[in-house]
Structure formats: C-alpha cells, structure tokens
Structure 1
Amino acid sequence: MGIAERLIEDVGLRRGVSKLTPEKIEKIVNAVITGETGARLKAYSETCMRCGLCAEACHFSQSHPDDPSFTPAGKVHQTMGVLLKTGGRVDPDFIYGMAQLAYTECNLCRRCVHFCPIGVDTGYIMSTVRRICHKLGVTPQYIQDTAHSHSATSNQMWVKDDEWTDSLMWQEDEAREEFPGLRIPLDKEGADIYYSVIAPEPKFRTQLIYQAAAIMHAAGADWTMPSEPGWDNSDMCMFTGDFEMMGRLKRRHFESAQKLKVKRIVMGECGHAFRSVYDVGNRWLGWRWHPVPVIHAVEYYWELIQEGKIKLAKKFPGPVTIQDPCNIVRGRGLEDKLREVTRFLVEGEIIEMHPNKEHNYCCAAGGGVINCGPPFKNQRVAGNEVKARQLAATAERGVKTVITPCHNCHGGLHDIIHHHKLGMDLKFLSDIIYECMEKPEA
C-alpha cells in the first residue's frame, strides 16, 4: 500500500496544497535541489542499490513487514526519487502525500544509516523533502503552530517573558522549603554553567526545573539561567524545514550564553534540542564549531558522579531498562555514559532491550512526528509495534521502569505503553537522582 492509499486529512496540509500550482512546485523544488543540496544528495540518489537491508532498520517498516512502501528506500523512492526523476513536475496532490510521508512516517532517527552498506542517510533526504514542503507552505497544522510560537516568542509553548521568570521564581520558592539555601540564579555573569531547558518544562513539567535546581544545589554548582528569550533550546523549525527560523533560534540561544560570559551550556534531558544546538543549527549558521561549548545532561550527571558530587541516600530499585534517545546516542555516542549513570543510581539488574545502544529502535515520537498532533497519533503508535515488543520482552522479566533522558521519548513511549497496557513507568535521570540523592539541608 502506498502513501496515496493511507492519506490522513490535516487542515495545514490541505490549506497548503490548495495554494499550489504545478509551476510553483517545479520552481521551488529545483531552487532547493540546485541551491541547497549538492554532492551529498547526488551521491545518495545515484548509489542506492535497492538492496532492502534498510528495511530491517526502520521501526515503521518492521511494524508493517508486508508493506515495502514503509522501508527507507521505499520512502525515498516515493518522494525525492519522483522529484528528481520528473524535475519537480508533479501536481499538488502528490505534494500532500509526500508531506504526510516526510513529516509523519519518518522520525529522522538515522538508524537506517547503520544498516546501509554504502551509508545512505535517509534522514538527510527526508529533511530535504521537508525543506521543500516548508518552502511550498505545506506542513501539518500542529507542528506549524509550534513553529509559529518559536517565531513569535522564541519558545515553542507561547510562554511570555514574565511567565518564564515567574516559573523560575515559583520553583525556587517551592524548593527553598526543602533546601533553605537554594537559589536559581538568574543572569549571573561568568558562571561555569548556563542551564537551558525546553519550553514544556515551565509550561507543564516544572518539577524538572525544581529537580535540576536541587541537583545543582547539592553538587555545589556555579550555575545560572537566563531571564531573557533564548532560554528555550527546543526547535520544531528544524523539523518543519524552516531553517531560517532555526538559525535565528540557535543564534539567540548562543548569544544569550555569550552575553552572560558562561563557560559552557548544559542542556536538559531532551534529544532533539541537543541535536539542534550541537549538530544542525550551528552548521546552518556557518559556524565551524560552537561559540560556547555544549554538553547534554547525561554527560553532566556523569561528570558529577565521577567527581563525587552526587551522593546517594538510597538506590533506585531495579530491574530497569533503558531507552536510548536517537539524538544523544546515535548522534553523540552517550550510550555508555548513560549506562554508567544508570548503574550508579540503580540497585538491581539493568535489563537491556534487544537491540540496544546505537541499534535501539526510535520511540516514534522524535523528528517532530509527535508534534504533528492528534490526526497522526494512531498511525504513529501503529508504526512502532516493534518498540512495544521490545518493551514487553523486558516487562516479562520484571521491568517496571523505563529510564530515558529525553522528552520526546517520554511522549512516544507513554503512548505505546498505554496503548499496549504494558504497565510500565517512565523516568528521567533527574527524577531518580533527586529521589535518591542525599539531602542534608532537607
């Protein structure tokens, strides 16, 4: 079954294609291909052997084993392959199906790269397809609304400037009941650490800010958070294909840190945001490397443990399993540090999913797919039956807790666990560190 047989109605996609003409499509397709791509796309498009090995890599393909249109090669063939073959001469209906496929049936997890004998990066190709869709004005409504929020407020949740600082002051006040000496320092110049989060934290997961402050306080960290826009390190524009706005967001983030003259940025437990700051947005801006060093929370917690700055009053009861976030494992290589931190915190067995580490399956929420909203939720959950089987296999061995240091993984796995009635809990590392660490002031 091809994409034409499984179209889902989305107001953003429908409105976008209603404004297209074949002439506009051809012009924009060729402008992107000739002006923004080069040898990389040409090499991938001319060397793919259609061998089928990538079918083993993709969770969508493994969850629909009898439908080759879900394989990475099949997705490329149905989208970029057609654009290159026709020179962009396609009709608006084709663009609708292409956009649905690129935004909701590929998580850009890049697991397929590990299986391709010549290293074709389907994630890059699908990102280029999304870039074309953005330039055509054809994006799913929910994720486009989030991109509009980035444009208007520099954060993805329409959090106003005073709401941001109020949230920090509120969490500091709450935490001081437990830790009387705790502060969340705002705009402290020259601090060792600039701690940045994604906008869902002040919006509806404020406990994570509380926990981060408690950990920083217990570790004696020299840290700060900014009061001005730039604090949100998330980036749905990277996923819609709005690279101009992505660049503005990353510039603002780095300039906020530079203004405070901090030594480095520590990013909270999010995968896509780390990818945007560490590997994509900085490159779009033309920087050879980051103007301020960047590390993920997993790396920072690992450092604190190595330096003896986190002391435990108890251990978290196992067995547990670990979800490897694509963007910090395949994209940064933090699989071993993630496990070292987990072993430090957990009493009992770590029961690995199989496969695991850089070969673990994506949560099916990343790459902006979960942000495309309710119209595509059932398709997203059905597209990751293979992850449900992975989780169920650990549950059969007694696992009740899944540790994953990524917001999107939490969202995706929550939907899978709920749908399949697996009865498992999800934990961030900060949840466990806060729960188990010594709290001498408390």
Structure 2
Amino acid sequence: MNFDADILDRTMKEKAGARLEMWLSICSRCGMCAEGCHYYASDPRPEHVPSYRIKPLLDLYRRRGKVTMEMLETLRDVCYGTCTMCQRCTMYCPHGIGIAALVHAARGVAAAMGMTPSGLASGLQNALEFGNNLAVTEENFVDTVEWQLEELQQEMPDAEAPMDREGAEYLLTFHPRDIKFYPQNLYNYLKLYNAAGVDFTLSTRAWDSTNLGLFAGDVPAASRLAGNVIAAAEALKVRAVITAE
C-alpha cells in the first residue's frame, strides 16, 4: 500500500502547534500515567503505557514526514487499538500532558491517509449518509418511536413522543443501537421524561448522540455530524440538547 506524501505533509502541518510539540518534547517517560490507564491495568505490557502511545506520532514529527508505510501502520494500530481517549492518564501525569489530544492528532493523520479501521470507517460513512451510524432510515426511526409510544401508552395513557415540535425546552438524542437493537431503552427514556413532566421533542433527522468523526480523528466529518444536531436544535428553537446513552 502506497501513501500520498503531500497529504501526509499537509496534515502534519495542520496538526502541529506549540502545545502539541511541547507535549511531545517534555514527556520524561516516568511511567506514572500507566497507573491511570485501564488498558495497562488489564494487560500490563509496555506498549499499553500511555507515554508509549505518543512515540509513533513523535517519530513522524522527528522524521518531518519522511516515513515508511510500516511507521504509519504502527501509528494506526497504536492510536486506534490501545486508547479510548478517556484522559485518565493526564490526571496522573506530573507535566499534565494531554495524551488524548495527541492520540486524536495521530488519528487525524491516520484518517487523512485513509487508514481508519474498517468498522469505524463504515459506521462513519453511515452517519454521514443516513444521519446515524447504524444506517437507520427516517421511516424506521419514526416507526420505532411510534411503536414504543403505543406500548408506553398502555401504562401511561397520556404519554407523548412529539417529533419535530418547535418551541420545546429540550431536544432528545439517542445512541442508534437503542433504536435499532434495544428499543426497550427508548421505552424507558420516554417513560422517564413523561413521568418527570419534561417538555421535550425528538428530531426525525438529527437524533444520533454519537459522533464517529470525533473517534476517527476526522475533524471535518466530526464538525458536520455535530452540526446536524446543532442545526436541528436551532430550527426547533429548543433551550438545550439532552444526550442519552
């Protein structure tokens, strides 16, 4: 597999910055970050120490883009396969190094090179095409909401699940798996909000609470997906968005 050196060079320059370069240079490899990492806690191998995760990115910067495919593959495997970007390691770091930010930058490099893991890339493509990462159509979403509302109304006759209602206080969003695989979770959400008397609405087009662009390191995609929810919230004139997972 070949890679486009121009794209790599441009991406590296976009990701570069004083803070990022400072973090890469001040790590003392003390290993204190390992104490906060659940990867290392469950499998204490050297490559699971958070400070190790910045090494592939550091190597890329030291080489100024003059890298091999093997180096890029190592970067991909480390940044996607050994970190959830939870930031626990930063709490233990005496220098306050933002490992999660560095890992996200590394993922951005991998994404720009077309090296996003296939499962993540597929879900991201679904999100961009359908508005949610499991490719649930608008028709199926509406059918599922109406089905669970009918079930709930047997217990709470006055329950509602308004969709695209302008002027509600809150816009509710969900994880797509709750709609496609675990609709009983949707039932429970609707029951909770109705019982609490919350003034809410659903959006038929922007209801996915996830953002796989963020996880992939694809900033343009992440911005577009976040923008979908923002646009819906502004159009419906809600006060806030509630994310349920």
Alignment TM-score > 0.5, same fold: yes
The CA distance in 2 between the partners of 1:181 and 1:46, in whole Å, is 61
The CA distance in 1 between the partners of 2:207 and 2:214, in whole Å, is 17
**Cα distance, 1:136 vs structure 2:** 0.3
**2:153 is the counterpart of 1:176:** yes
Out of 193, 216, 229, which is 1:240 matched to? 216
Aligned with 1:126: secondary structure? Answer: helix
Q: Deviations over 1:108-133 (max 9, x none)?
A: 11111011111001111111111000
**2:9 is the counterpart of 1:30:** yes
Is residue 29–residue 83 contact of structure 1 (8 Å, CA) maintained in 2? no
Is residue 12–residue 65 contact of structure 2 (8 Å, CA) maintained in 1? no
Q: Deviations over 1:264-296 (max 9, x none)?
A: 111113xxxxxxxxxxxxxxxxxxxxxxxxxxx
Aligned with 1:251: secondary structure? Answer: helix
State the match for 2:164 in structure 1: 187
Aligned with 1:221: secondary structure? Answer: coil
- For normalisation by structure 1, the TM-score amounts to 0.54
**2:37 is the counterpart of 1:44:** no
Give the length in aligned residue pairs. Answer: 245
1:374-385 equivalences under 5 Å are none
Aligned with 2:172: secondary structure? Answer: strand
Q: Deviations over 1:308-351 (max 9, x none)?
A: xxxxxxxxxxxxxxxxxxxxxxxxxxxxxxxxxxxxxxxxxxxx
Aligned AA (1:52): G
- Structure 1 stretches of at least 4 aligned residues deviating more than 3 Å after TM superposition: none
**2:119 is the counterpart of 1:154:** no
The CA distance in 2 between the partners of 1:123 and 1:95, in whole Å, is 18
**2:90 is the counterpart of 1:113:** yes
**2:210 is the counterpart of 1:231:** no
**Cα distance, 1:36 vs structure 2:** 3.2
**Cα distance, 1:29 vs structure 2:** 3.3
Aligned with 2:54: secondary structure? Answer: helix
The CA distance in 1 between the partners of 2:93 and 2:149, in whole Å, is 49
Is residue 191–residue 261 contact of structure 1 (8 Å, CA) maintained in 2? yes
State the match for 2:238 in structure 1: 262
1:59-98 equivalences under 5 Å are 59-65=38-44, 67-77=45-55, 79-98=56-75
Aligned with 1:158: secondary structure? Answer: coil
**Cα distance, 1:256 vs structure 2:** 0.4
The CA distance in 2 between the partners of 1:133 and 1:261, in whole Å, is 38
Is residue 225–residue 231 contact of structure 1 (8 Å, CA) maintained in 2? yes
State the match for 1:305 in structure 2: none
**Cα distance, 1:243 vs structure 2:** 1.3
Aligned with 2:77: secondary structure? Answer: helix
**Cα distance, 1:93 vs structure 2:** 2.1
Q: Deviations over 1:150-179 (max 9, x none)?
A: 111110010011111111111111111111
Aligned AA (2:209): N
Is residue 33–residue 50 contact of structure 2 (8 Å, CA) maintained in 1? yes
Q: Deviations over 1:329-376 (max 9, x none)?
A: xxxxxxxxxxxxxxxxxxxxxxxxxxxxxxxxxxxxxxxxxxxxxxxx
1:287-302 equivalences under 5 Å are none
> What's the Cα RMSD here?
1.3
Aligned with 1:33: secondary structure? Answer: helix
Aligned AA (2:52): G
The CA distance in 2 between the partners of 1:54 and 1:75, in whole Å, is 11
**2:34 is the counterpart of 1:55:** yes
Aligned with 2:171: secondary structure? Answer: strand
**2:188 is the counterpart of 1:211:** yes
The CA distance in 1 between the partners of 2:226 and 2:237, in whole Å, is 17
Is residue 149–residue 157 contact of structure 1 (8 Å, CA) maintained in 2? yes
State the match for 2:76 in structure 1: 99
Gaps of 5+ in 1: 1-17, 270-442
Gaps of 5+ in 2: none
Aligned with 1:107: secondary structure? Answer: coil
The CA distance in 2 between the partners of 1:212 and 1:59, in whole Å, is 30
Is residue 194–residue 266 contact of structure 1 (8 Å, CA) maintained in 2? yes
**Cα distance, 1:97 vs structure 2:** 2.1
The CA distance in 2 between the partners of 1:205 and 1:37, in whole Å, is 42
**Cα distance, 1:38 vs structure 2:** 0.9
**Cα distance, 1:261 vs structure 2:** 0.8
Is residue 33–residue 93 contact of structure 2 (8 Å, CA) maintained in 1? yes
Aligned with 1:127: secondary structure? Answer: helix
Out of 174, 183, 187, which is 1:197 matched to? 174
The CA distance in 2 between the partners of 1:115 and 1:54, in whole Å, is 5
**Cα distance, 1:61 vs structure 2:** 2.1
